[in-house]
Amino acid sequence: MRNCLAEKPLFDVVPFDSRAGTYALASVHATCFPKPWNAAAISALLVTPGTFAFAHEDGFVLARVAGAEAEILTLAVAPLARGQGLGRALLQAVITKAAKMGAAHLFLEVGVDNPAALALYAGLGFAKVGTRKAYYDGGDALVLRLSLPAKFA
């Protein structure tokens, strides 16, 4: 009989070390978005106060905390790695860190036309608190919020 507690996690999601360079993150971002962020843009965000990232070779999440609020700046999971739990693992890492940094709420925007992401966020307990009209190249986005600390199932 296998002991699930002793098994290695499905994904090794680790804090991103900005000294490693952001080219790999930009490469993943380019596979996920029509207007991807380049390495310089990601680097510029990472040096701002309260900003941090978690990464895996197939994805990353970039977030920041300011006072009692935190926000997901971007979540990128390579298309071939989607649907396997990596996005959830990345988000759980951010949720945990944001709470430890004193955030009471975590916010994000997501396109209304992205059912996979909407399901991921709903499964973690995010709730709709607003709408941004024409946020993504004419497409609307929902503003979602999660109260922290969050419990994971």
Residues annotated catalytic, as ranges = 109, 121
3-state secondary structure of 62: strand
DSSP for 83-135? TSSHHHHHHHHHHHHHHHTT-SEEEEEEETT-HHHHHHHHHTT-EEEEEEEEE
Taking a C-beta distance cutoff of 8 angstroms, is the pair 25, 56 a contact? no
Positive or negative, the Cα torsion across 138, 41, 93, 82?
Answer: positive
Parallel/antiparallel/unpaired status of strands 59-66 and 51-56: antiparallel
Find, among 130, 132, 127, the residue nearest to 147 by Cα.
127
- Measured from the Cβ of residue 15, the count of other Cβ atoms closer than 10 Å reads 11
